[in-house]
Chain A
Amino acid sequence: MIIPLLTLVFHVDIRYAIGTALVASIATSSGSASAYVKEGITNIRLGMFLEIATTTGAVVGALIAVYMPTNVVAIIFGLVLIFSSLVSFRKKMEIPAGEEKSRLASQLRLNNSYPTAGGVVNYEVRHVPGGYFMMTFAGVMSGLLGIGSGALKVLAMDNIMRIPFKVSTTTSNFMIGVTAAASAVVYLQRGYIAPGLCMPVVLGVLAGAFAGSKLLTRANVKWLRIVFSVVIGFLALQMIYNGITGKL
């Protein structure tokens, strides 16, 4: 959200926007991860294992970014945005029964449980190599575009690794900060991170995180999601258009 706002509305160069967005996703992730870790939903081992994939990807993405023209970056960004807003509408997939168990998952001790109102629920992680590969891709996108790529991470964990939604969202949030930090250190040295831009964004994100957690409990989530997706879709199209016409 920050990148289209900065580039389309405030006409900031997309490279400064990427640096600012990275810092913002670290703020969001660290701010909320501290709350989730306490509740015992986050699968820390799974997050840590997959962080090898996301950080490697993020460094590769930050390297590619140097050689990629900014209008191509804008087009890729728009496509990822559209994809993300579609993912939020996706129907919950049924987990086919009798799928073979993953040996790798038990060797890596990824299987875990999480607390619910109705007691502790156990779950098993599947398709570890596929999930790992998808996470590397999510990491590349994160490093290239300066986004948390939470949608890609959740998709990898939900659809491929068959992890319960609650666990995948919190674990993905837990991972975003580390992934973003891996490419942020490169961008900082490259001069993409401008304090004048980051200051209002960081303070805004943190203030918003405090207010948002109180507001969200009262808001109508279904309508919120629809409005949000329409806005994102519109921004995405504009990013792609500007990328194609070479304005970004």
Chain B
Amino acid sequence: MKQLLSKYFQDKDIQQLIGKQLRVGVIVSSIIVFVGGIIYLVRHGHEQPSYGDFTGVREGLTNLPGIWQGVLENKGMNIIQLGIVLLIATPIIRIAFSVIAFLIEKDYLYVVITLMVLGVIVYSMLGGLAG
């Protein structure tokens, strides 16, 4: 079975898969951003937003539970932010895919290297670096 798998997933196939994953991630996130954008513009299009003074975005837009809460309430801002989070996640998911790809290729040196990259990103996500 394992041999069959490694035969099936040749190097090029994996690269194609990664390419496809990137494209799907970009397309899906842009659709979500677009839908959220329409909702946001319909409701708040006439307002004058102020980005000249930095206050940080409002509470619910800086963490996943908060963003998801707003999505359930159909808030345009939160739907856009969900799409952007997905866009940020796309290259991170690619790294996770690559770990599997190198595992199948039995390239353990690069499994370790890829896990290191993933580790740095996870640390920056969860390490409380927001300060």
Q: How far is the CA of A132 from the CA of B107 in the complex (A)?
A: 21
Knowing A48-B117, A181-B91 are in contact, say whether A189-B63 is a contact too (CB < 8 A): yes
**Chain B residue at smallest Cβ distance from A22:** B88
Contact with B along A12-33 (1 / 0, CB 8 A): 1101100000010011011101
Asked if A16 contacts B19 (CB within 8 A), the reply is: no
Instruction: Check if B51 is an interface residue, CB within 8 A of chain A.
Output: yes
Q: What is the minimal beta-carbon distance from A66 to any residue of chain B, in angstroms?
A: 5
CA–CA, A151 and B125, complex, Å: 26
Whether the Cβ atoms of A188 and B37 lie closer than 8 Å is no
The total of interchain contacts (Cβ-Cβ below 8 angstroms) comes to 174
Task: Decide if the interface of chain A is mainly helix, strand, loop or mixed.
Answer: helix
Assess whether B34 is in contact with A30, with CB atoms less than 8 Å apart.
no
Contact check: which of B34, B52, B89, B113 meets A13 at CB < 8 Å? B52
Contact A62-B124, Cβ < 8 Å, known A30-B22, A194-B57: yes
CB distance from A190 to the nearest CB of B (A): 5
Output the least CB separation between B75 and chain A (Å). Answer: 10
Within 8 A of A (CB), among B29-66: 29-30, 33-34, 36-37, 40, 49, 51-57, 61-63
If A59-B120, A199-B33, A202-B87 touch, whether A40 touches B12 (CB-CB below 8 Å) is yes
CB of B123 to closest CB in A, whole Å? 7
Residues of B within 8 A of A34 (CB): 19-20, 22-23, 26
**In chain B, what residue has the closest Cβ to A66?**
B131
Verify A29–B91 contact, CB threshold 8 A.
Answer: yes
Asked if A26 and B91 make an inter-chain contact with CB atoms under 8 angstroms apart, the answer reads yes
Residues of A within 8 Å of B77, CB to CB, are 195-196
Of the stretches A49-57, A72-80, A90-98, the one at the interface is A49-57
B121 contacts the other chain (Cβ, under 8 Å)? yes
Q: Which secondary structure dominates where chain B touches chain A?
A: helix
**A165-180 vs B, Cβ < 8 Å mask (1 yes, 0 no):** 0000000000001101
Complex: A143 Cα to B25 Cα, angstroms: 22
The proximity string for A residues 192-211 relative to B, scoring 1 for CB distances below 8 Å and 0 otherwise, is 11111111101100100000
* CB neighbours of B30 from chain A (8 A): 27, 202-203, 206
- Residue of B20, B57, B90 touching A195 (CB-CB under 8 A): B57
Chain A residues whose C-beta falls within 8 Å of the C-beta of B23 in the assembled complex: 31, 34
* Complex interface: chain B residues within 8 A of A225 (CB): none
Is B18 an interface position by the 8 A CB rule? yes
Q: Beyond A185-B125, A195-B80, list 4 extra A-B contacts (CB 8 Å).
A: A52-B120, A59-B120, A182-B121, A188-B88
Residues of A within 8 A of B (CB): 10-13, 15-16, 23, 26-27, 29-31, 33-35, 37-38, 40, 44-45, 48-49, 51-52, 55-56, 58-59, 62-63, 66, 108-109, 177-178, 180-186, 188-200, 202-203, 206
